[in-house]
Amino acid sequence: MKENILIVEDEFIVANDLRLTMVKAGYSVCGIAASVKEAREMIESKKPTWVLLDIFLQDGSMGTELSGYLTAKNIGFIYISANTNQSVLESAKATQPYGFLVKPFREKDLLIMLEIAMEKHRQGTELTLQKELLLQKQVGLLVESSINTEQKIKLIPGAFQALVPFDYMKITCLKNDEIDEWSFLRTGFDEYQITDYIGLANIMGLTAQEQNKFRPKLSDSSKSEYYNGKDFHRLLLDDYREKRLSDHLRLESKVLYAIKMENGETATLTFYSRKAENYSQSHLNLLAKSAIPIKALIGQLQNEVKNAPEKRLAARKADSSINRIPEVNLSQAGFEGIIGNSPVLLRVLDNVGLVARSNVSVLILGESGTGKERVAQSIHNLSARKNKPIITVNCAAIPRELVESELFGHERGAFTGASEKRIGKFELAQGGTIFLDEIGELPLDAQVKLLRVLQEREIESVGGSRTVKVDVRIIAATNRKLEKEVAEGRFRLDLYYRLNVFPIELPSLRDRKADIPLLAAHFLAVYNKEMGKDVKGFSTNAQKQLESYGWPGNIRELGHVVERSLVLTTGDIINEIHLAGTVKDESNNMNRPFQLMTLEKMEAEHIIGVLKNCNGKVCGSGGAAEILGLPPSTLNSKIKKLGIKRESFFNM
Write the pLDDT tens digit of every residue in 479-497.
988 888 887 888 988 888 8
Which of 457-461, 574-578, 600-604 comes out lowest in average pLDDT?
600-604
| Residue 385, helix vs strand vs coil | coil
| Most confident option among 311-315, 329-333, 618-622 | 618-622
Q: Which of 507, 525, 540 is the last residue of a domain?
A: 507
Identify the CATH number of the domain in which residue 461 sits. Answer: 3.40.50.300
Rg (CA), the chain: 28
Least confident of 169-178, 376-385, 393-402, 487-496: 169-178
The 10s digit of each residue's pLDDT in 166-181 is 999 999 887 666 778 8
568 pLDDT more than 80:
yes
pLDDT at 104: 79
Average pLDDT, the chain: 83
Span of 185-194, 253-262, 555-564 with lowest mean pLDDT: 185-194
Mind giving me the DSSP string for 166-205? -SEEEEEEEETTEEEEEEEEEEETTEEEEE-HHHHHHHHT
Same domain, 488 and 523: no
Answer with the one of 276, 301, 320 that is the final residue of a domain.
320
Tally Cβ neighbours within 10 Å of residue 390.
21
Q: How many CB atoms lie within 10 A of CB 109?
A: 14
Any idea which of 347-356, 445-454, 459-468, 548-557 has the lowest mean pLDDT? 459-468
User: Residue 82 corresponds to which amino acid?
Assistant: A
pLDDT score, position 52: 95
Co-location of 162 and 293 in the same domain: yes
Residues of 128-146 as b/e, b for ≥16 C-beta within 10 angstroms?
eebbbebbbebbbebbeee
Residues 197 and 70 in one domain: no
- Residue 134 maps to a domain: no
**Is the same domain home to 182 and 221?**
yes
Last residue of a domain, one of 320, 348, 371: 320
| Residues 397 and 501 both lie in one domain | yes
Domain of residue 610, CATH code? 1.10.8.60
Asked if residue 598 has pLDDT above 50, the reply is: yes
Q: For the chain, what is the domain count?
A: 4
Residues 436-457 pLDDT 10s: 999 998 888 889 888 888 888 8
**pLDDT higher at 254 or 609:** 254
Residue 137 domain flag: no
Q: Assess whether 486 and 343 both reside in one domain.
A: yes
Q: Tell me the range of 3-12, 444-453, 574-583 where mean pLDDT is highest.
A: 3-12
pLDDT at position 432, please? 95
Whole-prediction pTM: 0.67
Assigned domain for 126 exists: no
Cα 388 from Cα 382, distance rounded (Å): 12
Q: What is the pLDDT of residues 610-626, one digit of tens each?
A: 887 777 778 766 678 87
Range of the domain at 98: 4-116
Indicate if 484 and 554 belong to the same structural domain.
Answer: no
Q: Is 95 contained in some domain?
A: yes
- Does 140 map to a domain? no
Q: What confidence category does residue 58 fall into, taking pLDDT thresholds of 50, 70 and 90?
A: confident
